[in-house]
Chain A
Amino acid sequence: MKTTPDDSPLPGDAGALPETVISSRADVRLLQAIRDLWAYRDLFAAFVRRDLTVRYRQTALGVIWVVLQPLATGGVFAVIFRRLGAGADQSALESLLFYMAGLVPWMAFASAVQKAATSLETNASLVTKVYFPRMAVPGAYVAAGAVDFLIAFSVLAGLAAWTGRFSIWLLVAMPLLLLLQTAAALGLGFFFAILNAQYRDVKYVVPFVLTIGLFLTVILPLAQWGDLGRAILSWNPMMAVVEAYRAVLAGKAVDAMLMAKGTLSALVALAGGVWFFRHREHRLVDIL
């Protein structure tokens, strides 16, 4: 921890010990916070490990759940919407691929946001007992969600290969899209986490919001929305992510304008989430 070199000298050679400043002044606090983020990297890794280990312990299927959830949901969507006439010109497998391209990133995003939102509450006993950069808690859940995503993504890639839709661009786009998705998830996660620490209503609102988001983002391609819907939804960073995967799988060009808007709103969400979190985190101990 702290900025101590690896083998910290024992007290005795004073000058070598780094100094930490805790101040009521916001600028000093910000500086220290940035230093801490690096100093506490091992703790962050430990949180991520904990989350990954605990999540599927004592489950029979374990990590298979990561794959099973989008696969089953995508299957149901494909069956229902083909019956309703959507994508009737495609094969069933291609329909499944279409929905999987949306569900794999969306479900990873949604579960990251959901876990981050309740993270401060579930870790209250930690937050009120030990100091560490508080952002590590929701941050670690989002990072662990990214690992889940990579596993689910490999199934998506496999499915694409099977249907002959695989291209190298899928692998090129994925890290960038994952970055975009993670930024958005972090922003929302920070925001909801700190809000949920005070207003426990938040944890009931978040799943509801995410369900609506699922329907808005995954079911219809952007092109099938009306003008107003398109104008609004194009600012949804996850819409950009989903559309990009679908474009790559269909062998089409990615809509650059949509990506720019999505990136911008993801960055705004991240910056806003960080600001909001930092603005309120000092009160955590008193409200948790």
Chain B
Amino acid sequence: MTNDSQQAKAPAFARQLETTPRAGAGTWAVRMQGIGKQYRLGAARQASDNLREDVTNALRSLVTGGAGRQPLFWALRGVDLEVARGESVGIIGRNGAGKSTLLKILSRITPPTTGEMRYRGRLASLLEVGTGFHRELTGRENIYLNGSILGMRRHEIARQFDAIVDFAGVEQFLDTPVKFYSSGMYVRLAFAVAAHLRTDILVVDEVLAVGDAAFQKKCLGKMQDAASDGRTVLFVSHNMAAVESLCSKAILIESGSITRVGRTSEVVGHYFSGNGTGGFGAIPEDIPRSGTGQARFTAAYLLDETGQPVNSVFMGDSIRIAASFRVKPGGLLTPRFGVRICTLRGICAARFTTKETYGEVAPIMGEAGHFLLDLEGLRLLPGKYAIELGFSEAGQMVDFIEQAATFEVRAKNTNPDHKVIDNSMAITYAECQWNFSGVPFEEGSP
């Protein structure tokens, strides 16, 4: 909602909305009240030493559908939300904050544990394109099947059929099984069906983050059409740029509740600022993180050549990252580490893992440890960057922190004739030189 205060918390916001209807769209399209979702942490199942007890437990869990007594946790709790008709709302938050759970509830894939959600009109969710495509079926058959899965009536698909085929450009292959399609044709056809979905409410996942740039653009364009048509769009994404360009309003989810609702730019700004990680140093225990917790990162540093911690580097400088961690008894037998450097808008510039660039890390049996990672020749453009730390063992994430620390790359002009841009347009640079000529380029010419 355009005029709401950026500080408004969700429930207050919801009340406010009801009394300040927007011109032309006075009613809500989606309304959630007290929505919560509880999951059981289903990791280690305790075996009892009593066979009979095991059997009765198994029988009981067969009937009740629950398993044993694993701890419960709330992935979402007390979510109140109201979205007016014709609005496009971005839902943002870090991994594990409850975004995908909310998405699953919105798209009806999983029911809430508490509360109630109502929506008006037809709701369709696009969690991926081409859901339900069958390899053996022809393009024509798949259009009907996929359309039905997305909630279109058969006659609606028939009416849109030519437009879908046109959009995908697959006329000649309509009666060929899609297993013979090129992957490009396949994706085009899948997207064409989704794009012609006529629905009142559209729930979209980050599907748009996959595919090439042209494809993304097409997707965003179609979604924008939907929004300007007066349809309601709920867009769950990591891609802040997409959220900002598409959504007038955004919702921030943190630890399972809505912590902020308001204009997209304000909510996105809050998301970036409120990370609790200014610069480098000790990593707070309660930072948003995921993983089993067998080990935890405790601190991260950026070091200069003399080994002193710093907060910033100049463009082109080599970078040394140090990260300390603490390990619980039992140690880690096959640890793997990963580091990513991303912009604060979530675009990653580089990724380093021990699996790919080091090899097997020796088992860690002590209580703590650290690693040093030296990076040469990473040419980052000026701006703020975040360091993402990950730690896994035997394919399971032990600890993962999306923004363990942030640092700044400062501008330094190595060539006075060049203009330095910041990392909002691009992330990396190279020494460059342009040459022009008045004749067309031909192979073999210098």
Contacts and interface: CB of A to CB of B under 8 A. Distances in A.
B347 interface: no
B215 interface: no
Given A11-B29, A129-B131, A282-B111, A20 B119 contact: yes
A10 B25 CA distance: 12
8 contacts: A19-B118, A20-B118, A22-B116, A24-B114, A42-B148, A42-B154, A46-B145, A130-B149
A208 to B, nearest CB: 19
B131 to A, nearest CB: 5
Interface string A10-35: 11101001111111110011000000
Interface string A222-246: 0000000000000000000000000
B118 A21 contact: yes
Contacts of B232: 11
A200 interface: no
B136 A54 contact: yes
A286 B39 contact: yes
Contacts of B210: none
A11 B200 contact: yes
* Most A CB within 10 A of own CB, among B29, B110, B117: B110
* B107, B125, B151 pick with most chain A CB within 10 angstroms: B151
A45 B154 contact: yes
Given A22-B111, A22-B119, A24-B112, 11 more contacts: A11-B121, A22-B105, A24-B114, A42-B152, A46-B144, A50-B134, A125-B131, A126-B131, A130-B127, A130-B132, A285-B110
A83 interface: no
A252 interface: no
A11 B131 contact: no
A46 B85 contact: no
A21 B116 contact: yes
Contact of A22 (B108, B148, B177): B108
Nearest to A128: B109
Interface string A124-147: 011011111000000000000000
A10 B230 contact: yes
Nearest to A131: B108
Nearest to A123: B132
Nearest to B62: A195
A50 B127 contact: no
Nearest to A25: B116
Contacts of A131: 107-109, 125
Contacts of B36: 24
Contacts of A28: 116
A1 B152 contact: yes
The interface residues of chain B, by DSSP majority, are classed as loop
Contacts of A285: 104, 109-110
Size class of the contact patch on chain B: 35 or more
Contacts of A283: 65
Interface in B208-241: 229-232
A280 B65 contact: yes
Given A28-B116, A46-B144, A285-B109, A8 B149 contact: no
Contacts of B136: 53-54, 57-58
Contacts of A11: 25, 29, 85-86, 121, 200, 229-232
B301 to A, nearest CB: 39
A6 interface: yes
B148 A43 contact: yes
A49 B141 CA distance: 9
A125 B25 CA distance: 36
Most buried by B among A42, A45, A131, A132: A131
B27 A14 contact: yes
Contacts of B141: 49-50, 53
B3 to A, nearest CB: 21
Contact of B116 (A23, A50, A57, A126): A23
Contacts of A130: 107, 109, 125, 127, 131-132, 149-150
The 8 A-B pairs of least Cβ separation, nearest first, read A131-B108, A1-B151, A17-B121, A46-B148, A17-B120, A14-B27, A23-B116, A22-B117
Interface in A85-133: 125-126, 128-132
Interface of A: 1-2, 4, 6, 8, 10-12, 14, 17-25, 28-29, 42-43, 45-46, 49-50, 53-54, 57-58, 125-126, 128-132, 279-280, 282-283, 285-286
B111 A8 contact: no
B266 interface: no
Contact of A43 (B104, B111, B118, B149): B149
Q: Which of B121, B144, B200 lies at the interface centre, i.e. has the most chain A CB atoms within 10 A of its CB? A: B121
Contacts of B319: none
A22 B144 CA distance: 27
A18 B121 contact: yes
B153 interface: yes
Contacts of A54: 134, 136-137
Contacts of B125: 130-131
Given A23-B116, A45-B154, A17 B200 contact: yes
A128 B116 CA distance: 21
A282 to B, nearest CB: 5
Interface string B129-145: 00110101100010011
A134 to B, nearest CB: 10
Contacts of A58: 136
Contact of B153 (A24, A42, A125): A42
Q: Which of A17, A24, A29, A283 has the most CB of B within 10 A?
A: A24
A5 B86 CA distance: 20
Contacts of A126: 131-132, 149
B80 to A, nearest CB: 14
B110 A286 contact: yes
Contact of A8 (B26, B122, B137, B177): B122
B137 A23 contact: no
Contacts of A42: 148, 152-154
B436 to A, nearest CB: 51
B123 interface: yes
Contacts of B121: 2, 4, 8, 11, 17-18
A23 to B, nearest CB: 4
A287 to B, nearest CB: 9
Contacts of A50: 134, 137, 141, 145
A24 B134 contact: no
A22 B120 CA distance: 12
A29 B105 CA distance: 13
Given A20-B119, A22-B112, A283-B65, A6 B153 contact: yes
